[in-house]
Amino acid sequence: MAGIVPAVAVAGAGVEHLEVPVAHREAAVAITLFYPAGDVETEAVGGTAVFTPVDAAPGAVALEGQHPLVLLSHGGMRSAPGGGDWLAIRLVNEGYAVAVVRGPALGPADAARAPAELWQRPKDMSAVLDVLADDPRVDTGRVGAVGIFLGGTAVLQLAGARLSAGAVAAACDAPGQSMDCGWFDAAGVSLHDVATGPLEGPLQEGRVASVVAIDPEFAAAFETTSFADLSGTSHLLNLGGAEDVPAALDAAHLAGAMAHARVDGADRFDAFPECTERGPAILAEETGDDRLCTGLEEHDRAEIHDRIAEEVARRLGSGMLGADITQ
């Protein structure tokens, strides 16, 4: 990866938790900023009974200089905190500062609020970029964005791709087009009744030079005409082969508009952190489905995470650092 990622020796990651007030939400947006910090004493950060934490040093002094910034949004409409920390740490190890932008904690009763995440997530990331513009640790002249699931949708919007309000409204009319249709149906929420006007507003973020969207949701709802006006470079990654990716997450049909690749041997559950020893049993007991930990078939998730991170770093570098890559 020489010549593609920043040339910096990183021994550990510093971490800081911040809250960013935003005009489009009632509550502030929480972010976790990971950054290169050199040889530091780390501790477990984040994690749950199901998912393992990452190692970072709260409040550590950053390595000298400004580091290219990556905005990272992980998860769907009901995203959980810390889901993307595993990728953030790996990107910090390559010399990037990474701002993990957290979505709100939406519960079973919040289905009516959830569709607004389609336009609020990209706005969150732009607001975070505003706040970090004066942070001496980051180089806001070199900015990329990475998103997973609905985060992937958001970063494509930052690049200038536009969702069709009509296609979003019809996303639950046919099976398999949205990951949350069952939730909406159970709550009596129809996407046809959602005011999707904000999707037509300005969401493109010209300060972002490179985006990588991993298993983006609502990929079928993008207006293909908008791809002619994308800023920077845009890349799509799907986790696994065509037979393993649900229709709601498959971006292969967009390959003619932007670079598309697959991470062979992976599946959508590899977008989540590694699991604790008790994680599979907890999931099985609480939900009857332990695939968030076990995946579609047994494999080494840590190794898959390394390969995903390498693919992401290469593609970020093509736009942020002017490096050439092959598909």
Q: Average of pLDDT values for 129-155?
A: 96
Q: Average of pLDDT values for 175-179?
A: 82
Residue 303 has pLDDT above 80, yes or no: yes
In a domain, 2, yes or no: no
Long-range contacts formed by 283-289: CB under 8 A, 24+ apart: 283/50
Kindly report the number of other CB atoms within 10 A of residue 305's CB atom. Answer: 20
pLDDT tens digits, 278-299: 999 999 999 999 999 999 999 9
How confident is residue 321, by pLDDT bands cut at 50, 70 and 90?
A: low
pLDDT tens digits, 15-49: 999 999 999 999 999 999 999 998 899 999 999 99
How confident is residue 4, by pLDDT bands cut at 50, 70 and 90?
A: very low
Looking at residue 6, its pLDDT comes to 55
In a domain, 8, yes or no: no
In a domain, 151, yes or no: yes
Mean pLDDT for all residues in the chain: 91
Looking at residue 70, its pLDDT comes to 98
The structure's pTM equals 0.94
CATH code of the domain covering residue 27: 3.40.50.1820
Looking at residue 260, its pLDDT comes to 94
Looking at residue 326, its pLDDT comes to 44
In a domain, 7, yes or no: no
pLDDT tens digits, 91-100: 999 999 999 9
How confident is residue 327, by pLDDT bands cut at 50, 70 and 90?
A: very low
- In whole angstroms, give the CA distance from residue 191 to residue 193: 5
How confident is residue 78, by pLDDT bands cut at 50, 70 and 90?
A: confident
Residue 60 has pLDDT above 70, yes or no: yes
Q: In DSSP terms, which residues pair with 146 in a beta bridge?
A: 72, 212
Instruction: Tell me whether residue 167 is exposed, middle or buried, using C-beta atoms within 10 angstroms of its C-beta: 0 to 12, 13 to 18, 19 or more.
Output: middle
- In whole angstroms, give the CA distance from residue 90 to residue 96: 9
Give the range of the structural domain holding residue 231, as residue numbers without chain letter. 13-320
Q: Average of pLDDT values for 308-319?
A: 90
- In whole angstroms, give the CA distance from residue 83 to residue 264: 21
pLDDT tens digits, 260-279: 999 999 999 999 999 999 99
Residue 67 has pLDDT above 70, yes or no: yes
Kindly report the number of other CB atoms within 10 A of residue 259's CB atom. Answer: 17
In a domain, 326, yes or no: no
Q: Average of pLDDT values for 176-199?
A: 91
Q: Average of pLDDT values for 97-115?
A: 93
In a domain, 210, yes or no: yes
pLDDT tens digits, 218-227: 999 999 999 9
In a domain, 27, yes or no: yes
- Looking at the structure of the chain, the number of domains it has is 1
In a domain, 258, yes or no: yes
- In whole angstroms, give the CA distance from residue 184 to residue 66: 44
pLDDT tens digits, 203-216: 999 999 999 999 99
Looking at residue 1, its pLDDT comes to 38
- Secondary structure (3-state) at 15: strand
- Opening angle at CA 250, ends 176 and 200, nearest 5: 85
Tokens of 157: 């919007």
- In whole angstroms, give the CA distance from residue 181 to residue 245: 17
